[in-house]
Structure 1
């Protein structure tokens, strides 16, 4: 019983195709059962995602710190200007008071000392009641120190 040659060739092709499909199926099953490789792939993906999040958070924190430093610096500068103007006004008032006292009473020294003490007390109480300028300058200096430290550290 011999088979026609066309039928035998067809059978061989079917066998080869079946073998190829079986090989692909075995490879797919092997990949699914390779727990070590699958775990490594998941870990690599997770690490990549975490690195991205950490980088983004670091950039966001740096931007926010820079903005806060600028704001504090601007407010401190405004307060310093205000205090400087008030002190200049106070010095002018003291000088005017001293001149007037010297001309009228001849007791310029005691009047200047008294006036200076009064102004000193007033300025001291003003700083105690409104410590914001001192705190703002201190905060700005601390923020700039932290930023400078971090920049030097990560270079």
Structure 2
């Protein structure tokens, strides 16, 4: 029974990858899915807990958080600028931001996070129109959900995407 669900999961993942524009190379075989699930705890994320914040960070204390350049997760300004801050637990070479706002491109240099001040927090700011967005960080080629995202949504591969709204 488990092998049937894995095959169905792989078929669904293929359809999701085609539907969301993810490159076909990102579609994993059932054995890779099981291996990825087994190693999910070693993904360079700082913390495991989901943020308890509301999905929309454009209200009340979300505005105050937007002024904090070191607050982790997406910080949304009233003008639609979103600053993503991420602190990996280990050494990394490159961290990219991929989401439905850039076609889920895992290696677009325009979405490469940087740690300009050497404090271990990698950041990028982008302008977004009002809407609901999903995203992940791609850390040295490994797709990783932001543990500080205000909400989550299934990614079609057995994991979760970060989710937020720009109002």
Higher normalized strand content (fraction of residues): 2
TM-score by length of 2: 0.20
More helix by percentage:
1
